[in-house]
Amino acid sequence: MVKADMPKSEPRRVTILGSTGSVGRSTVDILQRAPERFQAEALAANRNADLLAQQARQLGCRMAVVADPSQYKALKDNLFGSHIDAAAGAEAVVEAADRPAEVVMASIVGAAGLESTLAAVRRGAVVALANKETLVCAGDFVMEEVKRHGATLLPVDSEHSAIFQVFDFQQHERISRIMLTASGGPFRTRALTEMASMTPEQAVAHPNWSMGAKISVDSATMMNKGLEVIEAHHLFPVPQDRIEVVVHPQSVIHSMVEYVDGSVLAQLGTPDMRTPIAYALGWPERIEAPSARIDFATLGALTFEAPDPVRFPALRLARDALRAGGSAPTVLNAANEIAVGGFLERRIGFLDIARVVEETLAALPVVPITGIAMVRDIDAQARVRATQFVEAGSRAA
């Protein structure tokens, strides 16, 4: 899974897929702070051409790509005279991932990041994976490709990075369980009746982390933790029934690994994504990050509790999909993306997100995944069904 032969004599070339998103902006910040260590190769974004061009100029990268072709002219105009190549479209994003960067930050949100992540894997790059959906919808296939092409996969999610940092791969059979911590999101203490009327603005107001809208809503439903359970299943050689979730509202302990002797190793830090990003960019060395440090003298109490399965059914749905295997996680992810979009567009209520996902899972049969084309086909089918359930819910409202 990992290798330690990274060149150290010259600046490490880095490509950022999803550079204008939350993780992408944090990655740009770290690159700007350490120009002697890193050189940007390519940047890719969805449609924010203005910010993308600004980042490309600041980092002096060689290529900038906007996935939305309608934004190509704006990107081209903003890069005029810079000698930075501009491109647009989904194929161009894959081309950016295929350029000769040693490290690729894969932070495109959702299943849209799968193709470009695979392109980086297939050329044996070090892939800093911030796109959990890639492993959720095609985990077995992606991990096979990692092994086949000798790529290195480094998790960037704060929870999986935490586990990676304290996980003894040489003695993985001596690990009794891994524990993913969850903040509980903004509705952790809300009654179910209150949650039914929560607005998108309330759902994206995370108490600890600064994140994009989709992942913030996933945190509010706790679907993000369900997706992370599936991701952890693929990243770490631990049986799925030994992957647990514990709510830790302070977000100081980012995850824990328990060994057979009862020892529990935890990674702690302030809730700042620049810490796991810096860990992945510098690996196997540790580099400086601008994250705030913990003041243990004033930290106060750290508390833990079990997640509430009644108010947060998304965790159950994710575990059911993982146990079912095959196409179920692909359907789960696609349906959730459609449902979250419907909620953010105010077409369905907050509690309807889990309903749409559950109905979509029930509507489609579980079949074996035989390749990436099949992942795309199942993803498309699930989106059609989920959209129908969203529309039905919208009419009912």
The confidence score (pLDDT) of residue 333 equals 95
**75 pLDDT higher than 80:** yes
- Provide the CATH number for the domain formed by 12-156 in this structure: 3.40.50.720
Q: For residues 197-215, give the mean pLDDT.
A: 84
Q: How far, in Å, CA of 246 to CA of 248, rounded?
A: 6
Domain locations along the chain: 12-156, 325-397
Q: How many CB atoms lie within 10 A of CB 47?
A: 15
The confidence score (pLDDT) of residue 234 equals 97
* Residue 133's pLDDT band (cuts 50, 70, 90): confident
Tens of pLDDT, residues 326-370: 999 999 999 999 999 999 999 999 999 999 999 999 999 999 999
The confidence score (pLDDT) of residue 9 equals 66
Name, in order, each residue with C-beta under 8 angstroms of 355's C-beta and a sequence gap of 6 or more.
389, 393
Q: For residues 110-139, give the mean pLDDT.
A: 93
Tens of pLDDT, residues 218-246: 999 999 999 999 999 999 999 999 999 99
- Provide the CATH number for the domain formed by 325-397 in this structure: 1.10.1740.10
Cβ contacts of 189-198, under 8 Å, gap ≥ 24: 190/311, 192/310, 192/311, 192/351, 195/311, 195/350, 195/351, 196/349, 196/350, 196/351, 197/349, 197/350, 198/349, 198/350
The confidence score (pLDDT) of residue 394 equals 66
Query: pTM of this prediction?
Result: 0.92
**4 pLDDT higher than 60:** no
